[in-house]
Copies of this chain bind each other. A is one copy, B any other.
Amino acid sequence: MDQALLGEAAAAACRCPLPRGDSPLSRLLRCLLSARRSLEICLFAFSSPQLGRAVQLLHRRGVRVRVVTDAQYMALNGSQIGLLRHAGIPVRHDQEDGFMHHKFAIVDKKMLITGSLNWTTQAIQNNRENVLIVEDAEYVKPFLAEFERIWEEYNPTNYKFFSKKTE
C-alpha cells in the first residue's frame, strides 16, 4: 500500500516519461508505469504532456488503456485527449450538462489513484492538490465498477447516447 499526498507538486522538466527523483509527479508516473495489463483513466482534465507520454508508452507496450473524460474540457487547447485518440487509445466522454468531474485511474484493476488532481501542468506545478494511492480491494472495486458503468453509458454506439443531441 502506498499513499502520496501532494502539497505543492513539483513537475520535473524532463521530456521522457520515465520517472526521475522522488517528486510527487515522479511517484505518480512510477505507479502508472507499473501497469502490465490494464489502465482505466477517468479524468475531468488531462493536459499534462508528461502524463500523456506515459499513457501512450503503456499503450505501445500492449497495456489495455481506456479513457473517460469530460466533453467540455477535452476540446480546450492543450488537452492530451486528441493525441491519445490519434495513438489509437479508446476515449469516451459525457454528453451531459454537468461535468464528468472524476479524477481517478486504476492500474491492473488493483491500484486506485484518486484525489483532487486533474492531470494538468497547471495543477501539478501551481496548485495545492492531493493524490491518494490505495490497493485495498474495498476501495478499488467501487471505482472500477463506476468506471465500467460510465464506459458503457458513454458508448457512442448506444442510440440513447446520441439521441439527446442529434434529434
Contacts and interface: CB of A to CB of B under 8 A. Distances in A.
B114 A98 contact: no
A5 B146 CA distance: 8
Contacts of A104: 116, 130
A132 interface: yes
A22 interface: no
Given A7-B149, A146-B5, A101 B114 contact: no
B114 A127 contact: no
Interface in A68-89: none
A99 B69 CA distance: 21
A94 B150 contact: no
A46 interface: no
A127 B146 contact: no
Interface of A: 1, 3, 5, 7-8, 44, 94, 96-104, 114-117, 122-123, 125-130, 132, 134, 138-139, 142-143, 146, 149-150
